[in-house]
């Protein structure tokens, strides 16, 4: 049976994370990805694990823009003592899925100029990988926008996890102020999608 989002909020707490199997951690990350996909009005991605270790740096994960459209989490990240890096990686890579879908007309975003930048970055001839140029990689629109989203979404998720843990689960129907603007924008454009008859 699939893990639900509220269970994932409990599992990602430090003690629970340490006591969980790789499969349980992946199930929690999948539940988080499913919830974020719903909030963003996009199609969900499958979350998988794989060893992505290199000699130079720890690659936390990746979203496959160009082929499988899946999120891969590095096994080494799943084995860390706390869930912070794993959760942030799923949020970040899930936002890449949103960018990809927005650029290809499968998700709605409020700023067409921003989507045009994402679309330009997604041209495989112009995409700059981390290995090719670390500084330019981080400053391109796909990465800088995903980093900003991840910071805000992670604060929201930790707030929700704390609310669930403290028995104030009624707060889960609210949003942390830092996240509210994103929620408002996404809801506005989901309404546009509904009016256009777009349901996925």
The backbone torsions φ and ψ at residue 189, rounded to the nearest 5 degrees and listed phi first, read: -85, -20
Q: Which domain holds residue 22?
A: 5-195
Lookup: tokens for 40:
């963003």
Lookup: tokens for 161:
């996890």
Residue 184 pLDDT = 63
200, part of any domain: no
- The strand pair at 47-50 and 71-74 is best described as parallel
Q: Summarize pLDDT for 32-52 with one digit per residue, the tens.
A: 999 999 999 999 999 999 998
83, part of any domain: yes
Q: Summarize pLDDT for 78-130 with one digit per residue, the tens.
A: 999 999 999 999 999 999 999 999 999 999 998 999 999 999 988 877 777 77
Counting the structural domains of the chain, the total is 1
Contact 19, 11 (CB under 8 A): no
Reply yes or no on whether the pLDDT at 65 is more than 90: no
Verdict on whether the full-model pTM lies above 0.95: no
pLDDT tier at 136, thresholds 50, 70, 90: confident
53, part of any domain: yes
Residue 167 pLDDT = 66
Own/partner long-range contacts of 83-87 (Cβ < 8 Å, ≥24 apart): 83/11, 83/12, 83/13, 83/14, 83/17, 83/25, 83/28, 84/154, 85/60, 86/12, 86/25, 86/29, 86/60, 87/12, 87/29, 87/32, 87/154, 87/157
The residue among 86, 89, 110 whose CA lies nearest residue 186 is 110
């Amino acid at each position: 049976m699939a893990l639900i989002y509220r269970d994932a909020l409990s599992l990602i707490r430090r003690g629970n994370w340490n006591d969980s199997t790789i499969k349980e951690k992946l199930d929690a990350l999948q539940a988080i990805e499913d919830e974020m996909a719903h909030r963003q009005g996009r199609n969900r991605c499958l979350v998988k694990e794989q060893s992505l270790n290199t000699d130079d740096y720890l690659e936390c994960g990746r979203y496959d823009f160009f082929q499988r459209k899946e999120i891969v989490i590095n096994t080494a990240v799943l084995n860390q003592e706390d869930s912070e890096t794993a959760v942030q990686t799923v949020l970040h890579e899930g936002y890449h899925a949103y960018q990809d879908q927005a650029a290809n007309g499968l998700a709605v975003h409020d700023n067409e100029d921003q989507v045009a930048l994402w679309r330009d970055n997604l041209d495989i001839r112009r995409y700059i990988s981390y290995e090719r140029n670390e500084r330019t990689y981080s400053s391109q629109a796909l990465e800088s926008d995903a980093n900003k989203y991840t910071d805000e979404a992670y604060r929201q998720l930790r707030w929700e996890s704390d609310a669930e843990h403290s028995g104030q689960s009624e707060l889960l129907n609210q949003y942390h102020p830092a996240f509210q603007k994103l929620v408002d924008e996404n809801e506005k454009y989901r309404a546009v999608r509904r009016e256009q008859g777009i349901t996925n």
